[in-house]
Structure 1
Amino acid sequence: MRKLLLLSFIIVSFSQAAIVKSLKFDGLIHLSEEVASEMIGIKQGDFVNIEIIDKAIKTLYKQGYFKDVWVEEAGHGDLVFHFKEKPTISKIELDGISDSDKEKIFEFLGMQKGEVYDLDKATLSELRVVKFYEAQGYFDTVVEHKKEVLNENSIVIKFQINRGEEVSIETVNMCGSNALEYSDFEPKMANKEAEWLPWMWGFNDGKLRLNDLQYDPARIKDVYMQNGYLDAKVSEPFLKAYLDSYTATLTYNINEGQQYKIDVVDIIIPKGFIEVETLKDEMVLKSGDVFDVERLRRDVKRVETKVADLGYAYVRVIPDIKKNTQGALASITLRVIPGQKVYINDVRISGNSRTIDRVVRRDVFLAAGDLYNRTDLQDTKSALKRSSYFESVNIKEKRVSKDKIDLVVEVTEASTGSIGGGIGYGSSDGLLLSANLSDTNIFGSGITASVDVERSDKELTGRISLTNPRVFDSVYSVGGSIYSEDSDYADYDEQTIGFNVTVGRRFGRNIKGSVSYVLEQTELSDFGEGIDMSLYTEDKTIKSSIIPAITYNTTDDYYLPRRGMIFKSSLEFAGLGGDEEFIKSITKFNYYFGLKDLYKYDLILRYKSQFQYVSDNGYLPINEKVYMGGVRSVRGYDSSSISPKNSYGSLTGGTMMAVNTIEASFPLVERLKMRGALFFDYGMMGEDDLNIKRGGTGAVIEWVSPMGPISLIFAQPLFKEAGDDTASFEFTMGRQF
């Protein structure tokens, strides 16, 4: 409302131009007198008339601060502008919703404490809240606001929000889809059918997501492009909602067209860079394959990487697809535009709120002044992910000049501190329990510490470990542990207390060497029937040994590798003083090969092997001999339950062991990071030769849970013989798959 009060003598005085002798403002709060005067363009000494004054009042009123504005002439030429301001918002309340929703709504509400109340603005805020809930799939949301007067100039605004109901998608119809099924599109779509138990974590809730609905046709089209249907057309979604039941059906009209195969694959690149055949060898798509746009994208990346490794950071690979509709063939030409060589200007670290910058930088293989190399960037990502410090790693490239680039290493930190455990059951050992408290990144320093306890009917062990993998950010590492073991094995009891210290060094990106010193005291007792006591002693013995070792690791992930290998080999020399004298060799090899690039299915093949050998150089106690069985060797048998036996059935231990494992891991519930695996273990061991043979097969449920990797192992022993102790189920946590 605007009010203008002009006394009759003002009308007479200012019907013609008159001089302003003085100018005053009464009732201003939000505007200063100087600003108000500047805004209306009137000051002392100006000539004014009724039109100028009327224009000034309108200008002030449009600012939105005032309910009333009027002018009074206090004397001849003395003007007084009077204001009645709108009330100020002292507080905004949101009622009827959760605290988490309140935080989000305040960010876009458009009204703030301390500003002047405006009805139109408050109405717009109501609409924003309604749209916010509609975007989340809630319909019929009602929002009203009320004013609560505190005093003449201050009010409280209360928004009463009655959130509507969620609309659940009961059916998604793919009309015209013959070659592909709904299940092929479902992983890519945002709006999906509600699954059985939609309220349970990991199942599709069927919730309508309006914001994503416009993008789903493109996602469906992309699935067709991955299966060779280059001419596929997908309509806009037709949504039919039933607000009486808050359910909906979603319909797409699809024209699939024909499936294309690849005719010719060619690459055009300037001479003097890389041979065309070399680049073609990097590609997966070949002539005769069904066209797959996803594989094409990855092939483009492979060719880009090959050229970018020469320093051409801004290389462009432009795919040109020509369709021959008559023969349903597609010819692909990749045009490579290298650009110019680029050097690293600076490397910045982002996202590491806990981990110290230098801990990240020590695994970054490019530095300021280096020639750009994309493989180095990929190796950097793999090394950072293998560290276990980070959940995700992304490296952004920011151009600062035509031949300079900044690298921004963005990391999302993982929960490196964990409490883990395992449980299993063996017919011999009974219930098997383990607990672990560890942190692989103490205070963000990269230092690892752990406390481990294992308990079964026959064993109690404890270990405290501390390791610094990069002393002063150098290539050297140092670590150690103290431990105590009290074990009741089938044919002897063992009590051990000791410590070890390890010094290591990195040789390149993937190779590490180390030397460990071990000092421990062991007491063996209660030997089984028939054990040759002339070979052993029940007195306490001291082992003093040195263990050189080497590790080669090229895997791409810490817990769930999809590519790469791990090779570890160690050789223990016992007899540097003390009572025990022997040599023990342990070698392990793991190889991981993911088939997703080749067959579009996230199948991971794993091959694992290990070989152990020990020789007696003076005194080889029974506890240092080789035993087989359990999750670390042949599943389906109790841990360390397989070895040569004497005539009384007592385990005497072997001197050599070879185990091979083949595994195939496949996705079960991808959104839960849950996988399944089938395995076959085959092991051989013995005293002088590998004459004892056992196997195991079964299935594993693998889950990368918020608490760490968990494995549920269901095993069936193979080649079982009388007297063998078996274990059909085991549970592990915290171990690499």
Structure 2
Amino acid sequence: MRLMTWGGAPIGQAQRSTFGTLLRSASVCAVLSAAWMAPAGYVQAQQYQFNSVQINGNERIGDSAILRQAGISRGQPVSAGQLNDAYQSLQSSGLFETVEIEPRGGTLVITVVELPTLNRVRFEGNQRIKDETLEQLVGSTERRVFNPAQAEADAAAIAEAYSTEGRIAARVQPRIIKRDQNRVDLIFEIFEGKNVEVERLSFVGNRQYSDRRLRRVLGTKQAGLFRRLVRRDTFVEGRVELDKQLLRDFYLSRGYVDMRTTAVNSEVTQERDGYFVSYNIVEGQQFKFGEINLVSEMPNVDAAVYRDIVKVRPGVVYSPTLVETDIARLERQAIRDGVDFMRVEPRVTRNDRDLTLDVTYVISRGPRVFVERIDIEGNTTTLDRVIRRQFDSVEGDPFNPREIRQAAERIRALNYFETAEVNAREGSSDEQVVVDVNVEEKPTGSLNFGGSFSNNDGFGVAISFAEENFLGRGQKLTLSVATAEDATRYGINFVEPALLGRDLAFGLNLDYAETNSSFTSYDTNRLIVQPTLSFPVSDNGRLSLRYTAEEIEMLERDPVENGPTIAGDIAAGAQWSSALGYEYTYDTRRTGLDPNAGILFQFSQDFAGLGGDSKFVKTVAKVTGEKRIYNEDVTLRATLEGGALAWREGTNRVVDRFLLGPNIIRGFEPGGIGPRDISGTSNDPLGGNLYVAARFEAEFPIGLPEEYGISGGVFYDVGNLWDLDDVNFNGGNIVGEGGSFRHVVGLSIFWETPVGPLQFNVSKALKSEDFDEEQTFEITLRTQF
């Protein structure tokens, strides 16, 4: 067995050579010779009539099939042109290597050499793209007739697949191995080449934003320290247009309405293994909102009523997103008011002198068009109702193009589909519209293996199974197991995002944890069962209602000698609480008027006493403000939070009270500040009923190339934990009950590694108590693989 070319040459060349040979076949020469020797008028009328047709060389294809393909019947007159047409038809059928047609008196002789049967299709030299993926790209099929043209097309498709992977130097050569019984094996020899990386991304014409900031906008990234693991640094021409649109959207959302990309220059490096890509941009001037007006052209709509709904105010940096949000808010109000077919058109007036844009919202009556039906195709697993509930409109409702576009975005945001297209077309009448939804599903389940390390919990391993579209119902199911040196945790979490078909999410969380922390002298077992209901109450606000059943048991750890307070808590045995609670969340970090600033506010309360061993009210509040400055290169963040535990009945144990860890105030061990029992050898923290903490931090670049993913930060934390009312000390020696504020400053290094975010904190306590447990260095790494 030896590897051979088709006819001694690559397939495409061989096919062209064979075709040229066939044009000079003996049959065609015979016909043309007869025509040449006859007078001109006679040539046009020259016809042949055959009493018999003789077919030679065919093995798989029957005589009748060849005659049908040629279009020739026995006993009928045939012209020279028809003979040529028969030849062309047989040759183009893709069934024969060669074809000859020769008239011999009253017999027409057709001699063919059949193309071989394709025995096997194989790939050699591929490592980056697996055989299973390549098999989906090729059209050559085993046990069918081998087609050289199809093989060439398959080679081009494989090369294109490598090009999209950034390997534009990849070469694919189809070869065949001849077998017995007129069979061949088709081998695609693949030379993958190297990734053509983006060595440098630069910008020309940018004044307001640095190259560093603009590079974060693009989907393409520079080749960095972990270029073998990061695949977005490969150069793909098709990604350039997407990156240009991302740049445009970035500037437009910040008021630069005239921004445009004039050119994108790509230059190959000297080693021809990378590109220098440069974007030439024109930023223009930043515009702000000028006068904001609203007028109504509908007699039954009072403009004054709807004017109060508009949230944009003069002086705010212009953003089309804010205008779209206002329009959506106005149209939703119209639906609630029973006003059908209302449309809102923003009319923008440009004022170049003061760099403002006046916006007038014009309320008018749109065309009287209804949604006839919504057709959904392509969903083999996902139920129709999961897709339909993304639409605010149903069959029979007035047609609103804006709602359809927003529904399309919500369908794509589900992340259940590879592609999702939503289009409207004319229905059964001019007043009817049919909405077509075409989706292509993708896998939504994942099995994750993860690891973590921190100097608080040590090394840990996490295994989780997550299904984002459970049974095609749009539900989320997560099973997780996490183990660390000091803790083991098992969890089941289930979420139904649209209970009863409404914007009402139902969740059920089951969690069991065992801890044997080195920061305490006792172990704990904790079981939590928590069903929740959550729903929106405003554009940025959401309310969650919950019930929590929790059982906690403190266990003695031999041979540690516990203090009397901890010993009393352990003696109480397993205690369980039953509580109703709620949490309100208000978040403008992504939807506020300023894209560079936002706030997060959370307030929650739990009321225990519906059965159980304890009665208390626990209240926690937290507010975080974030602002990006210096052309968005520096992020400032401030957080203020506090909690209060009001005990009514039962045993107030340390595991019920607040214990502050590094996530609330850095520079101390978990439970490192607050009241402490120092009467025993364990020196255990006791927690507190009240706490307050404030964190101020800044993140900024430190001069390293941003493709390394390394940035720096500084922080200042201050906090206090105090109050042990309703606690049975059992004669212990308690310190720190009155509380005092601790102050900490520190430096941070953030490293976005391919295996997960890595954070280093180095801190110094400016003010602390003698009994506090400080922690000057902290490292945390979390990853999934």
Q: TM-score scaled by structure 1?
A: 0.71
Which deviates further from its counterpart, 546-555 or 221-230?
Answer: 221-230
The equivalent of 2:26 in structure 1 is 4
Aligned equivalent of 1:21, options 51, 60, 73: 51
Contact residue 686 and residue 692 of structure 1 kept, 8 A = no
**1:514-553 → structure 2 map (5 Å cutoff):** 514-516=547-549, 518=551, 520=553, 540-553=571-584
Is 1:637 paired with 2:685? Answer: no
Which residue number in structure 2 is paired with residue 299 of structure 1? Answer: 323
Does structure 1 residue 721 correspond to structure 2 residue 743?
Answer: no
Q: 1:130 to 1:265 in 2, by over 3 A?
A: same
For residue 299 of structure 1, what is the amino acid of its counterpart? V
Q: Secondary structure at the match of 1:629?
A: coil
2: distance between equivalents of 1:622 and 1:498?
14
In 1, Cα distance between equivalents of 2:196 and 2:572:
73
User: How far is 1:727 from its partner?
Assistant: 1.9
**Could you tell me how far apart the structure 2 residues matched to 1:332 and 1:61 are?**
67
**What residue in structure 2 maps to residue 513 of structure 1?**
546
The alignment's C-alpha RMSD in Å is 6.0
* Aligned equivalent of 1:42: 72
The whole-number CA distance in structure 2 between the counterparts of 1:344 and 1:612 is: 56
Once the 2 structures are TM-superposed, how far is the Cα of residue 637 of structure 1 from its aligned partner? 2.0
**Distance of 1:382 and 1:630 partners within structure 2:** 38
- Quote the offset at 1:174 in angstroms: 4.8
What SS is found at the alignment partner of 1:638? coil
Aligned pair partner of 1:66 in 82, 85, 96: 96
Q: Are residues 296 and 338 of structure 1, via their aligned partners in 2, closer, same or farther at CA, if it must alter by over 3 Å?
A: farther
Cα distance 1:423–1:230, how it changes in 2: closer, same or farther (>3 A)? closer
Alignment check: 8 A CA contact 2:203 2:281 kept: yes
Q: 2:119 aligns with which of 73, 90, 95?
A: 90
How many residue pairs end up in the alignment?
705
Equivalent in the alignment of 2:236 = 209
1:56 offset after TM fit, Å? 2.8
What's the counterpart of residue 588 of structure 1? 620
> Using the alignment, how far apart are the partners of 2:196 and 2:185 within structure 1?
34
Q: Residues 439, 646 of structure 1: CA spacing in aligned structure 2 closer, same or farther, 3 A cutoff?
A: same
Residues of 1 paired with 2:441 and 2:624: CA distance?
Answer: 25
Change (3 A) 1:336 1:122: farther
> Which one of 568, 580, 595 corresponds to residue 604 of structure 2?
568
Task: Kindly provide the CA deviation profile for residues 546-569 of structure 1, in whole angstroms up to 9, marking residues without a partner as x.
Answer: 3212132547899x9987654432
Superposed counterparts of 1:206-605, under 5 Å: 207-213=234-240, 225=252, 230=257, 234-241=261-268, 245-246=272-273, 249-250=276-277, 262-267=289-294, 269-271=296-298, 272-273=300-301, 275=303, 278=306, 282=310, 284=312, 287-288=314-315, 292=318, 295-308=319-332, 310-311=334-335, 320-323=347-350, 330-333=357-360, 339=366, 399=424, 402=432, 418=448, 422-425=452-455, 432=458, 437-439=463-465, 446=476, 449-451=479-481, 453=483, 455-456=485-486, 462=488, 464=490, 493-494=521-522, 510-516=543-549, 518=551, 520=553, 540-554=571-585, 565-573=601-609, 583-591=615-623
Structure 1 position 307, deviation (Å): 1.2
Contact 1:39 1:59 in 2 (8 A): yes
- Residue 107 of structure 1: CA displacement? 5.1
Quote the offset at 1:299 in angstroms. 2.4
Gaps in structure 2 of 5+ consecutive residues: 1-20, 36-42, 537-541, 593-597, 726-736
Partners of 2:125 and 2:140 in 1: CA distance = 18
Stretch moving more, 40-49 or 706-715: 706-715
Give the drift of 1:720.
Answer: 0.3
Counterpart Cα distance in 2 of 1:568 and 1:393: 38
Residue matched to 1:186: 215
Shift of 1:124: 5.9
What is the CA–CA distance in structure 1 between the aligned matches of 2:411 and 2:759, rounded to whole Å? Answer: 24
Q: 1:146 to 1:415 in 2, by over 3 A?
A: closer
Find the residue that maps to 2:675 and give its secondary structure: coil
Instruction: Name the counterpart of 2:641.
Output: 609
- 1: CA distance, partners of 2:199 / 2:498: 59
Tell me the secondary structure at the aligned position of residue 87 of structure 2: helix
Please report how far the alpha carbon of residue 81 of structure 1 lies from its aligned counterpart in structure 2 after TM superposition: 2.5
Three-state SS of the structure 1 residue aligned to 2:606 is strand
Cα pair distance change 1:435/1:610, threshold 3 Å: farther
Shift of residue 620 of structure 1?
A: 3.6
For residue 630 of structure 1, what is the amino acid of its counterpart? G
- The secondary structure found in structure 2 opposite 1:37 is helix
Q: Deviations over 1:494-533 (max 9, x none)?
A: 466676666666788833231526485766998979x668
1:360 & 1:565 partners in 2: Cα distance? 31
Q: Residues 677-710 of structure 1, C-alpha deviation per residue, up to 9 Å, x if partnerless?
A: 7563422312358543334454667789998887
Contact 2:564 2:679 in 1 (8 A): no
User: 2:83 aligned to 49, 53, 58, which one?
Assistant: 53
Q: % of aligned pairs identical?
A: 16
Contact 2:117 2:145 in 1 (8 A): yes
Deviation, 1:6, is 8.7
Q: TM-score if structure 2 supplies the norm length?
A: 0.68
Output one character per residue of 1:309-367: Cα deviation in whole Å (capped at 9) or x when no partner: 644999866555554556655544555666468679669798896xx869969997969
Asked if the contact 2:617/2:647 (under 8 Å) is kept, the reply is: no
Structure 2 counterpart of 1:683, from 720, 740, 750 = 720
Q: Distance in 2 between matches of 1:30 and 1:393?
A: 42
Q: Is the 8 A contact 2:375 2:437 kept in 1?
A: yes
Q: Which amino acid aligns with 1:182?
A: D
1:154 correspondence with 2:183: yes
Shift of 1:724: 1.3
Q: Distance in 2 between matches of 1:136 and 1:212?
A: 11
Residues 224 and 708, structure 2, Cα contact 8 Å, conserved in 1: no
Q: For the Cα contact (< 8 Å) 2:51–2:107, is it kept in 1?
A: yes
Match of 1:199 in 2: 227
Check whether the contact 2:260–2:282 (CA below 8 A) recurs between aligned residues.
yes
CA distance in 2, matches of 1:489, 1:253: 57
Tell me the CA shift for residue 287 of structure 1.
4.1
Contact 1:592 1:607 (8 Å CA) reproduced: yes
1:53 positional shift: 3.5
How is 1:642-653 mapped onto 2 (pairs within 5 angstroms)? Answer: 642-644=673-675, 653=686
Identify if the C-alpha distance between structure 1 residues 583 and 135 changes in structure 2 by more than 3 Å, giving closer, same or farther: closer
For the residues of structure 1 that align with 2:451 and 2:88, how far apart are their CA atoms?
75
**Structure 1 CA distance for aligned equivalents of residues 149 and 437 of structure 2:** 47
Counterpart AA for 1:149? K
Change (3 A) 1:611 1:731: same
